[in-house]
Structure 1
Amino acid sequence: MSQHQQSLVTQQNLWKTFLVFLLPLIATNILQNLSGTINTIFVGQMLGVHAIAAVSVFFPILFCLMAFVIGLSAGATVLVGQAWGAQNLEKVRCVVGSTLFMTLIGGSLIAIFGVLYAKHILMALGIDDEVMHLSLPYVQWMLAGSPLLFIYIIYTSILRGVGDSRTPLLASTMSIGVGVITTPVLIAGYFGFPKLGIIAPAIATSLGMLTVLIFLTVYLNKKDHPLKPDWQLIKNIRHQPKLSKIILRLGIPTGVQMVTTSVAGLVIVGLVNRHGADATAAYGAVNQVLNYIQFPALSIAIAASIFAAQAIGAGKSDLLAKVTRTALGMNIIFTGTLVILAYLFSKYLMALFITDPNVVALGQQLLFIVLWSILFFGASAIFASIMRASGTVTIPMIINVLAIVCIEVPAAYTFSNWWGLEGIWYGYALAFVCLCIMQGLYYQFVWKKKTVKVLI
């Protein structure tokens, strides 16, 4: 059995194995965020402000769709991890087949209804009439190509479930490469290509996904990868009620959590907007910086979940505490280092996004309030992901939603009445700390006393 076929947790040095798995995962997350930033730059520079507004309207729609896909992939990754830990390749293929079947059905329905009702959706979002003629075709093309995007996200997540974080990085680099080359070419109609304007980024995204899926099919078959899309795997792409039920049971809470987070985000933006345009600009810049610091924290949580699932599948539940310790240690080292760097270079980080010196100073002030609490956010994500690997998803999800609905939003509202704009960020910090304490207590005093069973 090659290194590649081995379960992650059975390897000797857990720290080293964790690190080797983690680095490509962080790089993939950062690349994907960069691709969105680059796309926005192309649209803004080549098509103007109205085009940016037209494209931005799609974000809340995309977020709800992503909640569905990321929920599915979270459930599937846990099961794939457990089956892989048990070295049961047939079971791995069944889970992959069942997940791809649900993705294809769900993605096709979203594409069809999305294209038909895009105008109604945009009107419900209250889009400006000046932007509607640009937004409508963009949103329709994005929704039409969404099944490709969903399959890409699911497949790369499942690859990580069997301990392969390098292939998703390769796939991500490739899809971004295709996007960066084709977006400007299609917007402006270079090299004799048709000039597609606003729908160019949407078509470029679909082209990127299609290219990567073809590449993965060839590459995985050539490497004789355990998850190569061959006949053994393809015949499992069908409705498997028992498996679908477990995948959805594990996945839906993750989706609900994402939707709650995004709705709370909208409420907070409303609070920020009250303080004027400078406050909104500072909020945008602070969030960009926080995103990049949260990526390693979230990547560590994803890695912890996969290691834990493989340990459970391999019947080595005794290793779960070791995986948790390793992940928490990595959070302190990685996230902690980034937090310190962000404190030291806060002025320059803000200046990347903002030119006005007053707003830069305001952004710095807000960063200083919230940065340290990202460490607590990382730890809470690790506790929740370890528990998810064993099938415990509902209580961690409820804790998360409570922290947002009962602590973050009310605190942001109350503190902003007391201390102005800064109060909103005190609310964030308080929510992260409380969330970590609640998840930690549940993990330590309830979950650890349960008997961990294999789910499939």
Structure 2
Amino acid sequence: MSENTPKKPRPSLTEGPIAKTLILFSLPILLGNVLQTLNGSINAIWIGKYLGEGALAATSNANIIMFFLISSIFGIAMAAVIMIGQNLGAQKVEEAKKVVGTSTVFFLILSIIVALFGLIFSSAILGWMNTPSDVKELADTYTRIIFAGVPFIFGFNLIMAILRGSGDAKTPFYFLLLSAVLDIVLNPLLIQGMGPFPRMGIAGSAVASFVAQLISFVLLIVYLYQKKYFLRITKKDVPLLRINWMIIRTLIQKGLPMGLNMVVVSLSNLILIHLVNSYGSESTAAFGVAMQISSYVQMPALAIGGAVTSMAAQNIGAGKWDRVNRITWTGVGVNVLMTGLIVALLHLFNREVVSIFLPTEGKAIAIGVHINNLILWSFIIFGIFNVVAGVVRSAGSVVFPLIVAFIALLLVRIPLATVLANIYGFDVIWWSFPVSFSVAATLNLLYYRFGNWKKARMIPNKA
């Protein structure tokens, strides 16, 4: 392709109508989140159908490992999104390219180290997790293949972060769609062995995910170079593929608190599950279904939060603080409308939705309906604090949102659910959701209004 070929228009989040831009930018992120969740659910169905409960238990253990791996890079990828966004907002394309170059080298080195560590110590990690002995061999087989694909998983996530930081949310969605379709189609073919495909059992499921991620990753790179994406590394940019310690330090210092935020959420959920287990299997089943439903309810808030972070970062870089404020409140309003609509629909069809997941006999359905009645509306509040926290983070103030999450989820929700549930009963566990979300929203709003987050710095003075 000739160098004179017109380049793909550079997306900008610093101009245009805010509400329209926010909705159009968040929609692909939302669809991508739904797609990834459905992908995991469908793969679990294939494994359960063809290989049984043992194989499903094996993959569940592997998925826990993968969640922590993704959590570990999530924060660093988000830091890259914000650094790139602020630089582009300030019209510093070369500085943004420095972030891309250093992030590429850093993620490559990190992914190779993680992959080798996992391949060598996979069995030991599963043993430390108390993986049941009857499924440990299956889990080890599955986990090793997943670890082998870590460089492609990390690389794919980095490129998606770079694209979103530059204002492009559509391209990541298209290639997430490609990856999901390949994964879903290849899973039964390689598990069972159909046509020319060998019968590989549980290894087939892992290989399907590996191949889907590899193909999507390679094609995404090819696509970006064919379209002459403006942040691609060209021949003259090769010197940027190096470790810039100032950028690395920023990625880690700003990224680690954002990654730890996911760990706090996971820890809170693990403690709650442990608590709910003491009330019997029907309560546990109902809680599991309620959490599955709530994972879909919170997706709009997460998508809007991600979109707001990218938009605010570019506008902070451009010095458009009035627009940043309008982005914040537009994000809050859009979240209330979208999440509120989903919550209203679920309340109307609460029993019908819960019945999809649970057998009609027993008390679990009634418990699940009751849990939803108490917690679903609180995800509107969750969306408010998530949007405000996203804006605060986009300025480089990443520690305060982590402190808020720690206070709300571990110092408010867990003591409320554990101590007061013994006094006032089972329902206190579910009321801990709106109470903790309200605490988080209040603290984040107070910090947004009165805190010094605007003085935070994401980009080093020299890079």
- TM-score, structure 1 length as denominator? 0.96
The reply on whether 1:78 has 2:79 as its aligned counterpart is no
Q: Encode CA deviations 1:109-160: one digit per residue, 9 max, x unaligned.
A: 1111111111111111111111112111111111121121111111112201
Q: Which moved more, 1:219-228 or 1:34-43?
A: 219-228
On the 8 A contact 1:220/1:229 being kept in 2, the answer is no
On the 8 A contact 2:264/2:405 being kept in 1, the answer is no
Pairwise CA distance, 1:370 = 0.5
The reply on whether 1:333 has 2:337 as its aligned counterpart is yes
The reply on whether 1:441 has 2:441 as its aligned counterpart is no
Report the equivalent of 1:146: 150
SS for the counterpart of 1:352 is: helix
On the 8 A contact 1:412/1:428 being kept in 2, the answer is no
The match for 1:20 among 17, 24, 28 is 24
The match for 2:283 among 276, 279, 283 is 279
The reply on whether 1:68 has 2:68 as its aligned counterpart is no
Residues 233 and 271 of structure 1: is their aligned pair in 2 closer, same or farther, counting only changes over 3 Å? Answer: farther
Q: Distance in 1 between matches of 2:205 and 2:434?
A: 36
Letter in 2 for 1:252: L
Report the equivalent of 1:376: 381
The match for 2:371 among 345, 366, 374 is 366
The reply on whether 1:104 has 2:97 as its aligned counterpart is no
Q: Distance in 2 between matches of 1:370 and 1:234?
A: 51
Alignment of 1:289-438 (within 5 A): 289-357=293-361, 358-438=363-443
Report the equivalent of 2:42: 38
Q: Distance in 2 between matches of 1:199 and 1:421?
A: 42
Q: Encode CA deviations 1:209-243: one digit per residue, 9 max, x unaligned.
A: 11111211221122222234543555423211011
Report the equivalent of 1:10: 15
SS for the counterpart of 2:242 is: coil
SS for the counterpart of 1:9 is: coil
Pairwise CA distance, 1:59 = 2.6
The match for 1:164 among 162, 168, 184 is 168
Report the equivalent of 1:267: 271
Q: Distance in 1 between matches of 2:11 and 2:181?
A: 31
Q: Distance in 2 between matches of 1:185 and 1:266?
A: 34
On the 8 A contact 2:7/2:229 being kept in 1, the answer is no
Report the equivalent of 2:182: 178
On the 8 A contact 2:87/2:317 being kept in 1, the answer is yes
On the 8 A contact 2:7/2:230 being kept in 1, the answer is no
Report the equivalent of 1:122: 126
SS for the counterpart of 1:126 is: coil
The match for 2:196 among 192, 195, 202 is 192
The reply on whether 1:134 has 2:134 as its aligned counterpart is no
Pairwise CA distance, 1:3 = 9.0
Q: Encode CA deviations 1:155-194: one digit per residue, 9 max, x unaligned.
A: 1122011110100110110000110111111101111222
On the 8 A contact 1:279/1:421 being kept in 2, the answer is no
On the 8 A contact 2:122/2:143 being kept in 1, the answer is yes
Q: Distance in 2 between matches of 1:249 and 1:345?
A: 45
Q: Distance in 2 between matches of 1:6 and 1:452?
A: 25
Q: Distance in 1 between matches of 2:457 and 2:127?
A: 48
Pairwise CA distance, 1:87 = 2.4
Q: Encode CA deviations 1:379-407: one digit per residue, 9 max, x unaligned.
A: 11111111111111111211111111100
Runs of 4+ displaced beyond 6 Å: none
On the 8 A contact 1:14/1:326 being kept in 2, the answer is yes
Pairwise CA distance, 1:453 = 5.4
On the 8 A contact 2:8/2:228 being kept in 1, the answer is no
Letter in 1 for 2:428: G
Q: Distance in 2 between matches of 1:175 and 1:6?
A: 24
Over the aligned positions, Cα root-mean-square deviation in angstroms equals: 1.7
SS for the counterpart of 2:241 is: coil
Pairwise CA distance, 1:208 = 0.9
SS for the counterpart of 1:355 is: coil
Pairwise CA distance, 1:423 = 2.2
Q: Distance in 1 between matches of 2:113 and 2:100?
A: 20
On the 8 A contact 1:390/1:455 being kept in 2, the answer is no
What are structure 1's unaligned runs of at least 5 residues? Answer: none
Letter in 2 for 1:205: S
Pairwise CA distance, 1:418 = 3.1
Q: Encode CA deviations 1:47-88: one digit per residue, 9 max, x unaligned.
A: 001011111012321121111110111100000111111222
Aligned-pair identity in percent equals 32
SS for the counterpart of 2:231 is: coil
Report the equivalent of 1:242: 246
On the 8 A contact 1:30/1:295 being kept in 2, the answer is yes
Letter in 2 for 1:424: I
On the 8 A contact 1:312/1:454 being kept in 2, the answer is no
Q: Encode CA deviations 1:24-63: one digit per residue, 9 max, x unaligned.
A: 1111111011101011001000100101111101232112
- TM-score, structure 2 length as denominator? 0.94
Q: How many residues align?
A: 454
The match for 2:224 among 220, 223, 237 is 220
What are structure 2's unaligned runs of at least 5 residues? Answer: 1-5
Letter in 2 for 1:10: E
